[in-house]
Each structure stands twice: as structure tokens, then as C-alpha cells.
Structure 1
Amino acid sequence: MELRTYVAALRKLWWAIVLVTVVGAGTGAYLAYRQTPMYATTVTFFATTQTTSASSSSAFAGDQFAQQRVNTYVYLLSSDRLARLVIAASKVDLSVEKVESSISGASQLNTVLLTATVTDSVPSRSEAVADALATQFPALVNTIESANGTRTALVHLDVVDGPHLNPKPVSPRTKLYIALGTLIGLAIGVIVALLRELLDTTVRSVHGLSTLTDVPVLGVINSDSATKRSPLIVQAGSQSVRAEMFRQLRTSLQFVDVDQPASVIVVTSSVEKEGKSTTAANLAIAFADAGRRALLIDADLRRPKIADYLGLEGAVGLTNVLANQVDVDVVLQTWGASGLTVLVSGSIPPNPSELLGSQHMVDLTADLRTKFDVIIIDTPPLLPVTDAAVAATFADGAVIVVKHGKTKRSMVSRSVHSLRAVDARILGTVLNFAPTKGADAQRGYGPYGYASAATIDEAGAEPRTRRRSASRTKSSDRTGESDAPKQAWAGPRTEAGEADSSSDAAPDNSGPDGPVTGTEERAARA
């Protein structure tokens, strides 16, 4: 993994890192709160030795002897004998073991100073034990040092400082607990974020998808809350960001290989629910809006969706044509004001792969090439069934739709391998459902982006479509004529190519606000 990958992982889960850090700090504070406060009283002793000579060498030797003795007295502070003497003198209600554990000592380097510390949860008891210690410890040392029969002890201890009671608790150290908890929480949060990134096997970036497949990423399709309600770009508005993304995908396909332009394009995915059908439908709409003679074929003969998305009759379609039950010109349907032609799937057959791989399908595709500029074929996913690979063999190329954060890298690799195994041409991939916010946000148009219609409205600018509508209204008022939109769906075509006026007119599905003609939409984009 590169450094930017680690940084992106931390940015993506920054909230989790902060949360774990706060929890760690809170845990440290709670542990400190649960601890019993301890108070300390200190007393400092000075050790002197008896010298028989006033010479400097004798004084130096005595000082060295006193330093050695002081180091020994540190351990003497924790003795049972001293604890019993302190208990007897202070009258405290403590056991010998408690008094032993409450007394500690330390000697400063190269000095004859010895500091004794008495720690207790009760300040007055700590001070009482320290007072007794200040008198009993020098007496004990004097007794031990004169036990060899001498009248005068070789070392004598004098109290030079204390006893002093610290009014503030010496433990727990709340700030230290909080600091340690914060550091531990931060470390755990960072480790969890990095592990999650390392264990995440899904596709989450354009760079990762391009590196994985070794084919170009033709487009990035963002997703928002309105995508499920309005999957088609005409429903979201021709000037929406999502519509611009499909226009960019259309442009990428037109220039992916200028020497071998693709006119028959298979749109597929690795598994279901990656948005291949909506991508195919919106791509076909984008080609039709550009003035191209576009045909959308629903070749997903297992779970067809195109008829439902466009609101068309799907009982008769591709399968019936391949079964020689009806002529193709009869079942072709026109959708939308831009003149998009749709061939729905028809009846669900028992042998979808055989139908798509039949010579009749190859001949039908060759015949439709002469009538349309571009043909978009929606096919089933690659991994569950072989339909898409079969269709890609007689098409000019295939486009693989990959769902951001859901499709695993291994699935994409297997899909690419299945297409290359049949010598199919892979035009590129499309990263679908990419987030618009957060660390994983993908930009389909470089660093500048596009403003949505809502953003323009908030900025106080009047949208171009409203000005155009207002001008048409004024023109209608002057002429007395209404500028009513044309009917988008004209029914199945007859063999002569004319619309069957006797058929029931289907509702206009070009958008919630009615259709917009191709001329008007192209003028709006200009």
C-alpha cells in the first residue's frame, strides 16, 4: 500500500479514531476516579560519622562510610522491627504489613541524605506515622550501630527536614491516566482503521480499478439520495451532475479508440445489483440526446429490467424475434423526445445463453448495425452466467460496471478474465455508485466539478431552462398558440416503419415534468 492509501484510510475513518481516542481518555479518567487518593508525608535524615582524626583523608573516609550506610538504611525503613516501633509510638490502628508497605525510602546520589516517605489514604494517619518514624528510626539506627559493644554509634541520623504532609494526593495521577488512555485509544483507532483498509477487498478508487483491470476507467457515476427514486437522467434533469457524468461516459466511449470505433456495446457487471441496467439505459439516452440513432437492447433474458425502467410493454421483444415469432421492426419501440429506440427482452426463455449465441442473434445484430449509429446491449452479470461473454463475442466491445465499495477486486479480475477468455474486446470500466462526500469521494470531472441546479438556485441565479420556458410562454401569449410537448411514445413500429396509431398510447416516461425535445435540450447544453 502507498502512503496516500494509508492517509485515505485514516481520513475515511477519522470519526472512529476520534471516538476510540475519546473513549480511551474517558476510560483513563474513570480509572483515576476509581482509585483511592493517597497522601504522602516526607521526612529527611542526615547521616554523620564519628572520626578519630581531623585530617581530610579521615573525613573523606567517614563520608564514604556514611554514604554506604545510607544505602543500607533505605532497606531498613521497610523492616518489621521499625514497623512495630512506629505502631507503638503512633498508636495507629494498622498491621505491621500495612506500615511496612506505607514506608519507602530513597537516598540521593553521592550524598548522606536519606528521605523517607509515608503514604496513606488518610492524611492525618500518614502524618502520625511520619512523626513516629522521625523519632524511632534514628533510635533504631543508633541501637543497631552500637550493638558491637561500643558506647557511641559509628553513624548518627539527624532530622533535617520534615515531617511535611503534602495536602494534595500523590496518587492517582489523573492527568497521567488520561494521557495514557488517550494515547492507547489513538493507537487502537489508527490500527483498526489501517487493518480495515488492509482487509477491505472491494474496489474504492479509480486508481485501484485501473490498476486491477489494466483497462481505462471510462467514467465515474456518483450516487445520491435521489438516485433510487429517479434512476434515469431525464428524471433528475438534463443539467444535473449525474446527467453530465453519463455525457462524459458517452464521450469517453466515442474516443476510446478512434481507429476502431465501437457501435455495438455490451454493458455488463460482475454480479447483480451493480447498476448495469440503469447505466445501459442512461448511456443510450445520452447517445440519443446527442442526436445519434441509438438502440437499447435488453438482452438480460433472465431478469430483464429495461421495460420496467422505461415504462414500456415488455411481453414481446428480443426472444420472440429470435424465435421467429415476430419481425424485429414490429417490436421496436420509441421512447422519449430524443427518439431513443428500445428492443425489450420479451418472454423469458428456458435457454438464454443458446439464444444469445445463436446465428440468428448475430445476423440480427448485423442487420441492426445498418439502421442505428450505436447499439447498447444490456446483458446479465458475467460471473453467474455466460450470457454476457457470449454477447461480447459479436459486439464491438464490452463495458464492465463496478459498484464502489461493494464489488470485490477478485470478482472484477475474474470478470475481465472471462471476457478475455473468449477474445472479447474490453472497452473499459465504469465506477458506479461512487460517493460524493468523504475520503472515498470520486470526482468525475477533475478538480473543478459542476454545480447542480439546486446550487445555482441557492446562489440566486435563474436557471437557463426557466428563462427559456418564460420566453416560450410570452411567445405563446402573442401568437395564441400553446407550445405543447409532443408525445414521447408512439407505439410499436409497423413493417413500413410507421407508428401504429391503433395501439394504446403509453404514458410519457421522459420525466416527471414532461418530455423535452432533443433540440431544446441541445440548446440548453450549448
Structure 2
Amino acid sequence: MTTNGRSARLLRGYGWWIILVTVLITAGACALRRVEPVGHRSTATAVAGPKQRAGFAPVPVDAGTEREIARSGTVLRAAAEELGMAETDLADGLDVEPAEQGAAITIAYTGGDAATAQRRAQAVAEEYVRYRNTTTVQSGTAATLVSPAGPAEEQRRPLWLWLAAGAVAGLLLGLISAYAVARRRDRLRGRADYEQQTGLPVLATIPRARRSRGPGAPLPVMLRSPGSADAEAYRYLRARLEPLLGRPATVLIAGGRDGEGRSTTAANLAVALAQSGRRVVLVDADVRRPALHLMFDLSRDRGLTNVLTGRHRLTETLAAGAIVNLRVLAVGAERDNSADLLAGGGLTGLLHELKEQCDVVVLDSPALLEVADGLGPAACADQILVVTDYRRATRADAVRVAAELEHVAPGRVSAVLIGLPERDGGLRPRDQVGRTDRFEVLDGPAEHAPPPREEPEEPAPEQPDSAEKAKPVSAKAAIPKPRVYTSAAAKAEAEARVQAKAAAEAKSEE
């Protein structure tokens, strides 16, 4: 079972648990009420009013003022001496409030013993009245104790309040614990658990990508930071994958849901294969949420959808991929039926054409569990790599993706786990400080270029000294936004530039 925010499935699977926790917490709240310390409260009432004196106008009495006088240190000190206790202890349980009408005040005391509460409330009330009457000459106000302190009453929270608080707390605790249990039972528990649940071999584990900023941020880590541990992990993946590849071969990078790292894995694997000497074409087949044109700073005007609809030829759409041996086929112009193009036979024919001109075709595919067109490219692939985010994916999703792909391409599916901790079987390669890869970088903007031709291999020239080594990351300085031709004139200019470059190459070969 997987929750994935689906409350209905959570309630169906763990409703009994939520009810049980709610009942237990409510019963516990009821039991706490029984052992709650019981307080006793005794209340006295006093009224203050103006003293009638000949030749003097009566002074109005304010209940708020009388309240402060009853709580003053003068009154409490005298009452505490009479009771034989500390003034601070007496003030702790005292509560003085004005009555709703007139100048009456209520003097209440709450304590653990009924007799003690009554005695202390009466002492404070009597001292307040005595103090007020002894100062009549100065203030013209007198006080009367109209209601002596009566027997103390028990003070306890009502049962309904305990039951309501227990029910709310139990319901919240039940929901939280049910969600935690569901996530725990449905999460992956390591590399061995993934292989056992899905039946797929794990070729490699890739560290979770760290967000990069500044110039070159969109570039794949194999170009941006070839000496990092992340880049070494992709070389390890290349080493595990190469024995499974024929010449030529098609590798599909698949995944269950968006955001698990399919496009990043496809781009870096394509660069790694190209650096090993293979001629590679990277194809963006994710027509819903394409990302490769952003990584390689390409235009979406021409690409896969243009070739499948017959609007452009393959040689017009392939673009240089920052290094030699790598070409990129962007997703192409957005169309209403882009997803339907992957379901026809046009993609199969295109892949056959690409395999005649390169060694490896790497495809970035849509999310299998979110869109209907994710299985189309799988039937055309020679090898399929399922990219799974270890922290985000659930067992149910992993098993379902593996089953879907094994049904379409039995025996050709392997897995790549993203963000797998070392304690759970993850590989943690080390940074290679000072590493400088010796591969030729295509400087300048990535113009559309024809695919590499079949030519006899020539011996590689000797590498220059370290002072003349090519910089591995300066490829195209990675402008964050892709170039998009917005007018017919811009497209015509680009086409003319491509034709001129192709003519210059043909002339140089002659």
C-alpha cells in the first residue's frame, strides 16, 4: 500500500488503528480526570460605598480600585500575620474580582483543603473591610462584608472537557502514527530490499545531486565538475553498463514519477559514454516535461517531434552536445498530439536510423506512473535503466514500474538508485582532486550539426603538455535560458548558417 497523500487509502488501510488510538487516548483522559488534584474554593463578598459626612460631597467608588486595594501588600501582609503564613503563599491562591454591577468585589481563595480555603478567604475579606473603614476619614469610603466566606466547593474540570480533549488528541495521534506506519511499511529499506522486491539488479547508486549556482549551473556534472564524486558515480554506472551494450545499442532511462532524476542521469550517462570514445546520440523523448534542451542550451524549434511529423530531417535537428562524439536531439516544437507521436512506428524507425550512425542512443523517457506515453519507447530499447529516488519512492511504485517494464522488455531492465545512503548499500565514491579530463570541448554556441559519419578511425594525436590541456567545463558557458527562434527570419538565418557550415565541412573533406 502507498499513501502518497491519498487520505482515502490511508483510512481504508489503517482506520481500525486510528479508532483504537482515539479510544485509548480518550479513556486515558478520563482516567486522568479521576486522579486530577481537586481544588477547594471559598468566596466572600464585600461592598464599598461613600461615607455620608456633613459638609462633604460623597466620593464615587470604583470597583477596580477596590480590587487593587484588596490585593495590596498592606491588606495581605496583615492577613498573613493573622494566619501565621508568608505573604507570598497567601497571594498564590487568592483571586479578587469586581462584581458585575456596583462597587462589590468577590474575594476568593483556592486551596487543597476546604477548611483552609474558607479560613484564608475570610481573613483577607475581614482585613480589607477593616482597612477600608479605618481610612474613612481620609477617603470618605467605607466597606461592608455582606457575604462571609462560605464552605469551600470542589474545583474540577468538567468531564466533557476531558473527553473532548482526549478525542481530539487521540484522533490526531492516530492519524500521525498511521501515516508513519504506512510510510515505514511501504518505504524501501536498502539496496538488497529493492532488488528483492522488484527483481531488478542495481547497476549503480548515484549520490543525490546538489543544487548548483552560477555560470555553468545547468550543465551535467560530468562537464561542470568532472573530478567530483557525483561524476565518478556516473563513470561507475558506465563501467557496469558497457558489458551489457552491443554495437549499436539503445538505452532508455525510465522512472516512475517526475523529479526522481531521469533527465540528469540520461545527460550524464550520455556524456560519460561519449568520453569513453563511443559515438552517442542523446534523445529527449519526454514530450511532457522536457529538460535536456535546458541542460545543453539548445533551441526547441527543431527536435524529435519535428522529425516524427516529417517537418524536418534528422540531419537538420541533431545538435552538438558540448563535446565530440555527442549529439543531442531536443524534444522539438510543442504540439497538441506530441504524446501520440511516441506510440506510433515513427519512433522505431528513427531509432534504427540513429543506430546506423552512432554506437549508443540514450533516451530520456516520460514518467511511467504519471502519463500514458511512458511505455512507448520501452519496447524499442535494448537496455532500460530504471532511475529510482530512494528517499521519495515507495515499494509499491518501485514494484509497479519494474513489473510494467519487465512485461514490455523482459530481461533488459536494470536499476539505478539515487540518494541511497552508504549504510543501506549505497556507493560513495571519492572526489578526484585535480582531475582534468582530456576530451575535446566544442566552444561556442551549439549549432545544429549533422550526425557523425562512418569513417575509418585514425590514430589519436599525442596529447599536449599540461600547460596546453583543454579545460573540461568551459563548454558553452551554460546560459540558463534556451535559445528559441521566435520569428521566420531567425529560423532562416539559422538554416543558412547550418548549410554554410555543412558546405564548408564537405569542401574540406574533398
Q: TM-score, normalised by structure 2?
A: 0.50
Once the two structures are TM-superposed, the CA of residue 201 in structure 1 deviates from its matched residue by: 1.8
Q: Distance in 2 between matches of 1:336 and 1:242?
A: 19
**1 CA distance for matches of 2:445 and 2:277?**
17
- How do residues 34-433 of structure 1 correspond to structure 2 at under 5 angstroms? 199-223=184-208, 225-226=210-211, 232-255=220-243, 257=244, 263-433=249-419
Q: CA deviation at 1:307?
A: 0.2
**1:453-468 → structure 2 map (5 Å cutoff):** 453=433, 463=434, 465=436
CA distance in 1, matches of 2:236, 2:211: 20
Q: Label 1:486 to 1:352 Cα distance change in 2 as closer, same or farther (>3 A).
A: closer
RMSD: 4.1
Q: How does 1:437-476 map to 2 (within 5 A)?
A: 442-444=425-427, 449-453=429-433, 463=434, 465=436
Q: Kindly tell me: are residues 510 and 200 of structure 1, through their superposed partners in 2, closer, same or farther at Cα, counting changes over 3 Å?
A: farther
Query: Deviation string for 1:337-379 (max 9, x for gaps)?
Result: 3331000010123233431122222111111111110000011
Residue of structure 2 in register with 1:163 after alignment: none
Contact 1:270/1:383 (8 A) holds in 2 = yes
Contact preservation (8 Å) 1:398, 1:424: no
Question: Larger deviation: 416-425 or 238-247?
Answer: 416-425
Q: CA deviation at 1:435?
A: 4.7
Kindly indicate whether the alpha-carbon contact (under 8 Å) linking 2:206 and 2:420 is maintained by their aligned counterparts in 1: yes
**Structure 2: runs of 5 or more not aligned:** 1-36, 38-83, 85-176, 454-470, 478-510
Rounded to whole Å, the distance in 1 between the matches of 2:362 and 2:407 is 22
| Aligned residue identity for 2:202 | V
For 1:428, give the aligned amino acid.
Answer: S
Q: Aligned pair in 2 of structure 1 residues 350, 236: CA closer, same or farther (>3 Å)?
A: same
Query: For the structure 1 residues 198 and 355, does the alpha-carbon distance in structure 2 shift closer, same or farther, using more than 3 Å as the test?
Result: closer
Q: 1:444 is paired with a residue of what secondary structure?
A: coil
Query: Which of 403, 424, 448 in structure 2 is aligned with 1:492?
Result: 448
Q: Deviations over 1:228-277 (max 9, x none)?
A: 8566123542121111111111111112x47x677101111101111101
Paired amino acid for 1:450: R
Aligned partners of 1:413, 1:341: CA distance in 2, in Å?
Answer: 34
Q: Is the 2:267–2:282 contact (alpha carbons within 8 Å) kept by the matching residues of 1?
A: yes
- Output the amino acid matched with 2:220: L
**Partner deviation per Cα, 1:450-497 (whole Å, 9 max, x = no partner):** 2453xxxxxxxxx3549x9xxxxxxxxxxxxxxx97526551125997
1:511 aligned residue: 473
For residues 267-323 of structure 1, what are the alpha-carbon distances to aligned partners after superposition, in whole Å with 9 as ceiling and x for unaligned?
A: 111011111011111110110111110010001111111101111112211111111
8 A Cα contact 2:248 2:355, kept in partner: no
Are the counterparts in 2 of residues 231 and 278 from structure 1 also a CA contact under 8 Å? no
On the 8 A contact 2:252/2:378 being kept in 1, the answer is yes
Alpha-carbon spacing, 1:241–1:280, altered in 2? closer, same or farther (3 Å): same
- Between Structure 1 and Structure 2, how many residues are aligned? 293
Query: Could you say if the C-alpha distance between residues 488 and 250 of structure 1 is closer, same or farther in structure 2, counting changes exceeding 3 Å?
Result: farther
CA distance in 2 between partners of 1:370 and 1:212 (Å)? 37
8 Å CA contact retained: 1:254, 1:262: no
Decide whether the 8 Å contact of 1:203 with 1:406 is kept in 2. no
**How many Å separate the matches in 2 of 1:426 and 1:485?**
33
- Aligned counterpart, 1:39: none
Q: What does residue 134 of structure 1 align with? A: none
Paired residue for 1:121?
Answer: none
| C-alpha spacing 1:464/1:245, structure 2 compared with 1 (3 Å) | closer
Give the direction of change, closer, same or farther, for the CA distance of 1:237–1:261 in structure 2 (3 Å limit): same
**Counterpart residue type for residue 375 of structure 2:** A
Q: Secondary structure at the match of 1:295?
A: strand
SS state at 1:434 partner: coil
Aligned to 1:47: none
> How far is 1:433 from its partner?
2.9
Q: % of aligned pairs identical? A: 27
**What is the identity, as a one-letter code, of the residue corresponding to 1:207?**
A
Aligned to 1:75: none
Q: Matched residues in 2 for 1:434 and 1:227: separation? A: 20
Change (3 A) 1:423 1:375: closer
Do the aligned residues in 1 keep the contact of 2:304 with 2:331 (CA within 8 Å)?
yes
Letter in 1 for 2:447: G
Give 3-state SS (helix, strand or coil) of 2:234's partner: helix
Q: Bigger radius of gyration, 1 or 2?
A: 1
What is the DSSP-based 3-state SS (H/G/I as helix, E as strand, rest coil) of the residue aligned with 2:375?
helix
Tell me how far apart the structure 1 counterparts of residues 380 and 441 of structure 2 sit (CA, whole Å): 39
After superposing the two structures, state which structure 1 stretch, 246-255 or 218-227, moved more.
218-227
Cα pair 2:191 2:426 within 8 Å, conserved: no
Amino acid aligned to 1:340: L
Once residues 198 and 452 of structure 2 are traced to their aligned partners in structure 1, the CA distance between those partners, rounded to angstroms, is 45
Distance in 2, matches of 1:496 and 1:451, equals 33
Distance 1:231 1:406, change over 3 A: farther
User: Does the CA-based 8 Å contact 1:297-1:377 persist in structure 2?
Assistant: yes
For 1:220 and 1:314, how far apart are their aligned partners in 2?
31
Distance in 1 separating the partners of 2:451 and 2:253: 29
**Which amino acid counterpart does residue 225 of structure 2 have in structure 1?**
G
